[in-house]
Amino acid sequence: MTGPTVIPRRRSRQHWWRANFVVGAVLVSALLALALLSFVWTPWPATELDIPNKLKPPSAAHWLGTDSLGRDIVSLLIVGSRVSIAVGLIAVGIGMTFGVGLGLLAAVRRGWIEEAVMRLSDFAFAFPALLSAIMLAAIYGPGLVTSIVAIGIFNVPVFARITRASALVVRSREFVLAARALGKGEGRITLEHVLPNIAAILIVQATIQFAVAILAEAALSYLGLGTQPPTPSWGRMLNEAQQQLFRAPMLAVYPGAAIALTVLGLNLMGDGLRDIFDPRLTQRR
Amino acid sequence: MRHHKNLRARGRGGTDIGFFLFKRVASFVATLLAASLVIFLVLDVLPGSAAEVMLGDSATPESVAALSKKLGLDRPAPVRYLDWMRGLSVGDLGTSVAYNAPIAEIVGERLAVTVPLALMAMALTTVLAFALGLFAAARHGRAADVGVMAASQVGIAIPNFWFAILLILVFAVKLRWFSAGGFPGWSVEAGGGPGPALRALVLPAVALAVVQAAILARIVRSAVIDVQREDFVRTARAKGVSRRGVLWGHVLRNAMVPVLTIMGLQFANLLTGTVVIENVFSLPGLGRLVFQAIANRDLLVVRDVVMLLAAAVVVINFVVDLLYVVIDPRLRVQSA
């Protein structure tokens, strides 16, 4: 291959991944806008029962129809987005707070502390969010807190591993050696040099984990371990829709599509951010 | 001289493998023990009185004491833990309060659904992922590649239980090719048989596999593309090895290391996916059992099933670690 044939191809590929980011960002912004909108306006009160109007097909009054209790589907979907965002934010927050802390500790202290953190994260992988949620639900009963804690715990080793690996790379760079030579302590080096340099990787991972958390929350709510009625959530909507599959099949389509579009948006955004932060990866694809 | 060097290298390799295996087995046993301790602490020690949790709000001090005595929960925690470990090692898992039957027996019946389902799903995942991944890699950068990648991006975003519901909608509700759920059993006497039983597992296995294959196909594609650029592939082609020969003998073997890593990680997803999908299709497997146990507050069943599922994840990761060594001999030396 010669130079001139390579350059246009790379450019077009870069445009392709940037397009991914834009599509992802649009989907995620739409979700955020809907969630914010739900605090001031929904077409109908989301939890208001209207039994005489149950299982109505789409109409001017109810754009996507009503469910088996007469609740407006559009309103339920809009309010349901709040739970997804809240669980995603808190679970990723828990994962980042503890995971990044442990990962940095492992990278700075090395030795047995590093070994302990790594073995602990190996071990935590034996407990996917669903298993933790099952254990917590058996003792404390199902609920939103149970699912948030279970998903949060699962995020800790993910962030611990990626933080340690990236921090080790940054700590071997010359500017860290220079900072150390100037007499800066490990704490300051970590906060002023290491953390800002691994922030991009952590943001990308957070976007992906956000998507994973939304999928996990939906599954837990579908199984009855997560959000409890009457709080609307997409997972619960799917559970209720499955019971009406023969009478109103479309009820099972909307909440699933909402979950899939949200996760797709977050994944595309994560991919796009990775390419923006590290263009070398784009060329390797 | 050269011969001597080779012998020395082989000798050192042997010890390295021994040390590698020892390290892996030790870490495998330690992880299993740690998992059992955590499960025991959360489900047995943390609640204070497991009997109280099992009996719920209607419990009287007398009934709690009677159940504690019956299940041996009145003994000190270390004794209960050791007793549980001894039971696990000989296959005696205790008695279920809700079913009033040996837990080992109930779990055994449920495994006859969960294990075939997981195996079918994993086999389907592998076939789909390799077919799509190799297809996309062979057409790297062309429309077909972009199409497969876009489809897999969408596949990754779809919740497997929603996909399962859509499959029911199309193939059970509309086309009526399959039943919407339930399991006829493996024995003909009970009204089932291998044919109907496998038929009942088709939609659940497809629901599990399609989403997993979307992830794995991307890994297969990028691993194959990476290996195809290596010098040894060009050398093999220059030596006159056919395209197909290079693909099977050189490219796939070398691409397997990253692919296996992801497959190992996916197994945990597959297992939890099975728990969810069993509930979508009302299949009487481990997943249904653990949910019925939560509803019945049958803590001992929850404890044993969670231990079994966690152990399965640990065992698979251990097997993947060992497979690395078989596939990539370089790792034998590096890992030691």
CA distance B309 to A27: 36
Q: What is the mean pLDDT of residues A88-97?
A: 95
- Using CB atoms, pick whichever of A134, A249, A261 lies closest to residue B290: A134
Phi and psi torsions of B186, nearest 5°: -85, -20
∠ at Cα B43 (B39, B49), nearest 5°?
A: 150
Residue of A127, A154, A247 best to disrupt the B interface, most CBs of B under 10 A: A127
Any long-range contacts for B149-153 (C-beta under 8 Å, 24+ apart)? B149/B218, B149/B221, B151/B214, B152/B214, B152/B215, B152/B217, B152/B218, B153/A264, B153/A267, B153/A268, B153/B214
Token couple for A282 = 């784009």
CA distance A268 to B254: 29
Contact B222 A211 (CB under 8 A): no
Asked whether the beta carbons of A17 and A268 are under 8 A apart, the reply is: no
Cis check: omega of the bond before A249, within 30 degrees of 0:
no
Q: Nearest-CA neighbor of A234 among A82, A45, A92?
A: A82
- CB-side neighbour CA atoms (13 Å) of B130: 15
Return the bridge partners of A72, or none.
A66
3-state SS of chain A is: CCHHHHHHHHHHHHHHHHHHHHHHHHHHHHHHHHHHHHHHCCCCCCCCCCHHHCCCCCCCCCCCCECCCCCEHHHHHHHHHHHHHHHHHHHHHHHHHHHHHHHHHHHHHCHHHHHHHHHHHHHHCCCCHHHHHHHHHHHHCCCHHHHHHHHHHHHHHHHHHHHHHHHHHHHCCHHHHHHHHCCCCHHHHHHHHHHHHHHHHHHHHHHHHHHHHHHHHHHHHHHCCCCCCCCCCHHHHHHHHHCCCCCCHHHHHHHHHHHHHHHHHHHHHHHHHHHHHCHHHHHHC
Q: What is the pLDDT of residues B277-291, one digit of tens each?
A: 999 999 999 999 998
A149 Cβ partners below 8 Å, 6+ apart?
A94, A132, A136
- CB-side neighbour CA atoms (13 Å) of A89: 7
Contact B35 A126 (CB under 8 A): yes
Q: What is the pLDDT of residues A29-67, one digit of tens each?
A: 999 999 999 999 889 888 888 888 888 889 888 888 898
Contact A131 B310 (CB under 8 A): yes
pLDDT of res. B316:
86
Number of H helices, E strands in chain B: 14, 0
pLDDT-wise least confident of A242-246, B145-149, B207-211, B325-329 = B325-329
Q: What percent of chain B has pLDDT over 70?
A: 92
Residue of A12, A14, A118, A130 best to disrupt the B interface, most CBs of B under 10 A: A130
Q: What is the mean pLDDT of residues B181-200?
A: 87
Q: Which residues of A touch B148 (CB under 8 A)?
A: none
pLDDT of res. A279:
60
In this prediction the pTM is 0.86
Return the bridge partners of B95, or none.
B102
Q: Nearest-CA neighbor of B299 among A138, A147, A225, A134?
A: A138
Residue of A123, A247, A268 best to disrupt the B interface, most CBs of B under 10 A: A123
Contact A138 B38 (CB under 8 A): no
Q: What is the mean pLDDT of residues A21-32?
A: 93
What confidence category does residue B203 fall into, taking pLDDT thresholds of 50, 70 and 90? very high
CA distance A217 to A35: 16
How far away is chain B from the Cα of A235, in angstroms, using its nearest Cα?
9
Of all helices (H) and strands (E), which one includes residue B161? helix B160-167
A41 Cβ partners below 8 Å, 6+ apart?
none
Q: What ipTM is given for this predicted complex?
A: 0.86
CA distance B1 to A70: 87
pLDDT of res. A235:
93
What confidence category does residue A118 fall into, taking pLDDT thresholds of 50, 70 and 90? confident
As to burial, measured by CB atoms within 10 angstroms (0-12 exposed, 13-18 middle, 19+ buried), residue B201 is buried
Contact B157 A119 (CB under 8 A): no
Q: What is the pLDDT of residues B112-166, one digit of tens each?
A: 999 999 999 999 999 999 999 999 988 888 899 999 999 999 999 999 999 999 9
Query: Touching check for A246 and chain B: CB below 8 Å?
Result: yes
Return the bridge partners of A66, or none.
A72
pLDDT-wise least confident of A33-37, A86-90, A118-122, A224-228 = A118-122
Return the bridge partners of B102, or none.
B95
Asked whether the beta carbons of A104 and A159 are under 8 A apart, the reply is: no
∠ at Cα B199 (B317, B118), nearest 5°?
A: 5
